[in-house]
Amino acid sequence: MPTGGPYQLDTVIFKGRIVRKALLPFAIVGFLVVMSRAVTAGDRKDRPPTSEAINRARKNVRMLDDVYKTTVVLITDKYVNTENDFPAGSAAIELFKQISKKGWHDVRLLDATGKPTASTNVAMDDFERDGIKRLQSGQAYYDRVEERGGKHYLRAITPIPVVMKKCVMCHPHYANAKKGEPIGALSYRIEIE
């Protein structure tokens, strides 16, 4: 801290910084507001999410699921014409990585046949393994609320059936899949707010 000069009478050290005395009340109020928000946010994290918040997260999953699946079908229909074309599923995987990287939510493409095209497409935890079993038994949707790092998340899993003949062009092992049978799934993790 400087000695003498203008710093001696009109400044103080607050939280390790030199602050003009005239601004000190504002700094203290700002600090108290930030701390009260942190305490309030901490209180909310300790409480389970409300049913309204869970329902909002479920609605978001339904919307995202519709957007993602519709996009894959449109890409496949309009742009995938030969085995050498870039598969829509691969485009979706890259999209999911970018969405997760940007912090929006996590979504993964999973295999439900036991013959994944990539090792990253397998169920990675109990939720995904249980979800795949439920989808294979005919359940159309499965979710649960989880707490992780002080936050609550909705984990959800939805089925992906073969919906077009073009699907088996890149995935010949799906040719014998029964109508509506899940050959894959989308696994979501969305923060409940």
pLDDT at 38 over 50: no
Pull the structure tokens for residue 59: 């609605």
Given pLDDT bands bounded at 50, 70 and 90, which one contains residue 45? low
Q: Burial-class residue 21 by CB neighbours within 10 Å (0-12, 13-18, 19+).
A: exposed
Q: What is the mean pLDDT of residues 18-36?
A: 48
Q: Taking all residues of the chain, what is their mean pLDDT, rounded to a whole number?
A: 82
C-alpha to C-alpha distance for 143 and 136, rounded to whole angstroms: 15
Distance CA 18, CA 13 (A): 5
Q: Give 76-113 pLDDT, tens digit per residue.
A: 889 888 888 888 888 999 999 999 999 999 999 999 98
Q: Is the pTM of this model over 0.85?
A: no
Give the rounded percent of residues in the chain with a pLDDT score beyond 70.
76
CA–CA distance, 187 with 170 (Å, rounded to integer)? 22
Fold annotation for 51-191: Beta-Lactamase (3.30.450)
- Average pLDDT of span 114-124: 89
Angle between helices 51-79 and 88-101 (to 10 degrees): 140
Burial class (CB in 10 A: 0-12, 13-18, 19+), 108: buried
Render pLDDT for 2-17 as a digit per residue (tens, 0 to 9). Answer: 455 544 445 555 555 5
Q: At 91, which amino acid appears?
A: A
**Residue extents of the structural domains in the chain:** 7-46, 51-191
